[in-house]
Structure 1
Amino acid sequence: MYLQHQNIAIIGAGVSGLALAGALKLQGVSSRVYEASDQLWSLGGGLIIPPNSVRVLEQLGLDTVLKVRGVELHDMRIYDVSGRLLYARSQGEVAQRHGHPLLGLAREDLHRVLAEHLPEGTVQTGHRLTGLDNEFHEAVAHFQNGQTVHADLLVAADGRDSQVRTLLYPETRLVPTGDVAYRGVTAQRPGGELDQAFSEFWGPGRRFTCFRMSDGLTSWHAPVRQGAGTPLLDKAGLLHAMRDFPPAVLGLIEATDADQITALPLQDISPLPEWWNRRTVLIGDAAHATSPNLGQGAAQALEDAAALAQHLAAAPDRYSALEGYQQQREGTANAATATARAFGELGRARGVARFARNLALSLNPELARRRIEAFYGDPVG
């Protein structure tokens, strides 16, 4: 395609939208990113950066943020709620196999570096999408502020609750997982063997994850099984719900200011038959929203952005580019969504299922390793 002559509009300034703008910039192509909020912002908290994320950031020339701001994690550990170790994996071994270990990073740091490396004026804030005309010859985006944007290609990078996806495919529905994810950030370090690890604790109907995301901050994440319509828990309620977890878990929650604890009902999406239609294409969570049980949400979004830019640059026409992009990415991204859903169910198992899970992991830890590392990419060397 003659990308230099294409008018490309990206809806959403999250990880996928900003990464795509950066990937297009490397192809010598300018684009505009339209963000609904009045300012660039991030949900906060931490991100796990797996090897497949690192490779895309290297391609974009942005991996310095990992060296400067990231925390290299030495181990991945999964415990039963009693504190019994169920699974351990040295990240040195992961680095030997996949080129990089897991890293912890503040979401805000990734968001900032993706935005700062774009030309001034690329991101336009205060543009909330209200309508879309997706024609054969152009896509037209209508915004709440009264502005209208005409594009040769419109990219929906507007996340899990994508307005573009709703307008294109109104029959599509997000599927609740049944969990509410409570998230927090604290200056308290996990301490002990947890201090340099990505750690998970699995309890009946509840889980807890923690890792250091910078030298001075720890990110934690606590999915709790809650029925639809159940009131969200405050800090005291969360501590009560997690009362049978080890002291290290309760200590991190107690050390977190109440106003730094957020709650998000988790949802994912069943595979979409089409990621593109006419002049509009979906990327990231707009195409394959996933639950955060594998740490692959941002990674899959980054891979989408890199793949779409490459296909747009190499394909002879728009149809071939968008078809090639979907064919390359949908199998892996949909598998990541399904695996994350299954992994979450495994982690919160109760009763006999919990006993069988613990026994299986003790006998064959490869069962967990294969699932966790399935999306890290081919072994190096």
Structure 2
Amino acid sequence: MTVNIIGAGIGGLTTAVALQRKGIKVQVFEQAAELKPVGAGIILANNAMQVYEKLGLKPQIENHGNPISSMKITAPSLSPLSCVDLKYFETKYNCQNIAIHRGALQQILIEALEPNTLKLGYKLAGIEASDKESLLKFENSKEISSQVTLGADGLSSTVRKNLFPNTKIRSASQVCWRGVVDISLPPKFQNELNEAWGKGERFGFVQIQSNKVYWYALKSFKTNPSEHSVEKLSHYFSVYNDIIRNIIESTPTKNIHTATIDDLKPIKTWFKGNICLIGDAAHATTPNMGQGACQAIEDARVLSECLSKYGVIKAFEEYQKLRLPKAHQVVNTSWQIGKMAHWKNPMATKLRDQLIKMTPRNISRKQSEQIFKLETV
């Protein structure tokens, strides 16, 4: 059996590594002609790092990233509203949260693959599905007969459109800017994620290497995201702490990536026949919990376990049964957090900040426990 994976993002590459560790033959087809490191970071939460520990990749990731021991929601002044202390989970699972450049993680995963696994310049044009095999048609005129196909091709998945053409992508009506900048943070901020909430916008930053910081900024828009310009970032966050303003002003505009925030309205079925969806193709989420890639990484572990134990259809059934409830919980909770974080009414934001301050730490810990605990396969 050969498993053909469409898409070489974090989810697709991790799934390929996990399947090869089980002795399953894999090919990964990526539409890009070359894989360029995107100028953005990623936070690999404890659940993702548990998976990478099982795959033997934890040391390499730790060596190329920066450990994060707390996550804070703050006021624009960086005065803390809440803090999730991650040391408890570091001890419990023997894994730290790691902030790392996406390009560095991507390279670690590619190097972990067997030779000739990754095929570049293969953009999927369509699928002719049948009971036993599917015909994958690519825009480079190549056609491949596939016994098992996994769609890891993201929010705008071509595989998903072939399987389930009536799925809905939802706009959060938020524009997001991301960047990586060479800058030195004060020592107290070097091992924590900070996200400052304002009125209709927020700003987060985290150190990913020595003197290198990944940051993101979000702002609500009413009708058209172009109403917000990257050139006005300093103005949008002018009342925020000096550290935030310095991060923005130190990042060349050409190195700032702009995108709108969308997710996939939850779907009840992730597979049809011998074709199955993973990661964002199955359950794309807004980034408000830092769990988008982490949930794809969990998919990789569960699906590789299931395919090594069961026949294809049974494996897909078990994978969906195990992963769908948690993935959908993340999607729905993240959507709600994103809306609350962007309240604009001064009275509402004041009440919101007070409620965040008053939330007992044991509740925050319990919520984190639900996210960090891996399913038993």
Amino acid at match of 1:327: K
1:139-175 deviation line (CA, Å, top 9, x unaligned): 1110000000111111001011111111221111210
1:330 — aligned with what? 324
State which drifts further: 146-155 or 79-88.
79-88
1:374 aligns with 2:366: no
Taking the TM superposition and a 5 Å limit, the aligned residue runs for 1:1-381 are 6-231=1-226, 233-315=228-310, 317-351=311-345, 352-366=347-361, 367-377=363-373
| Letter aligned with residue 339 of structure 1 | T
Question: With structure 2 as the length reference, what TM-score do the two structures score?
Answer: 0.94
The answer on whether the counterparts of 2:50 and 2:93 sit within 8 Å (CA) in structure 1 is: no
**Letter aligned with residue 301 of structure 1:** A
Q: d(CA) in 2 for partners of 1:242 and 1:249? A: 8
Q: What is the alpha-carbon distance in structure 2 between the residues aligned to residue 70 and residue 230 of structure 1?
A: 32
The one-character-per-residue Cα deviations of 1:295-338 (angstroms, maximum 9, x if unpaired) are 111111111011111111111x2221110010010001111111
User: Matched residue of 1:231: which SS?
Assistant: helix
Superposed CA deviations along residues 73-114 of structure 1, whole A, max 9, x for unmatched, are 232221112433201233323323443332211111111111
Given the superposition, is the C-alpha separation of residues 373 and 293 from structure 1 closer, same or farther in structure 2, using an over 3 Å criterion? farther
Secondary structure of 2:215's match?
strand
- Secondary structure, aligned partner of 1:320: helix
Question: SS in structure 2 opposite 1:17?
Answer: helix
Where structure 2 has 5 or more consecutive residues not aligned to the other structure, the ranges are none
Distance 1:138 1:39 in 2: 29
- Are the equivalent residues in 1 in contact too, given 2:81–2:357 (CA < 8 A)? yes
Cα–Cα, structure 1 residues 320 and 74, in superposed 2: closer, same or farther, change >3 Å?
closer
Q: Which runs of 5+ in 1 are unaligned?
A: 1-5
2:176–2:218 contact (8 Å) kept in structure 1 = yes
Q: Structure 1 residue 354: deviation in Å?
A: 1.4
Count residues in correspondence: 373
The answer on whether the counterparts of 1:65 and 1:109 sit within 8 Å (CA) in structure 2 is: no
After TM superposition, give the deviation of residue 372 of structure 1 in Å: 4.7
Q: For 1:88, what is the secondary structure of its paired residue? A: strand
Find the residue that maps to 1:48 and give its secondary structure. Answer: strand
Q: Percent identity of the aligned residues?
A: 28
Deviation at residue 184 of structure 1 after TM alignment: 0.9
Aligned-pair distance for 1:30? 1.3
Query: Matches of 1:256 and 1:232 in 2, distance apart?
Result: 21
Q: Measure the CA separation in 2 of the matches of 1:39 and 1:206.
A: 34
Structure 1 residues 70 and 191: CA distance shift in structure 2, 3 A: same
Q: Secondary structure at the match of 2:161?
A: helix
1:190/1:252 contact within 8 Å kept? no
Change (3 A) 1:232 1:106: farther
TM-score by length of 1: 0.93
Distance 1:30 1:115 in 2: 15
**CA displacement at 1:287 relative to structure 2:** 0.2
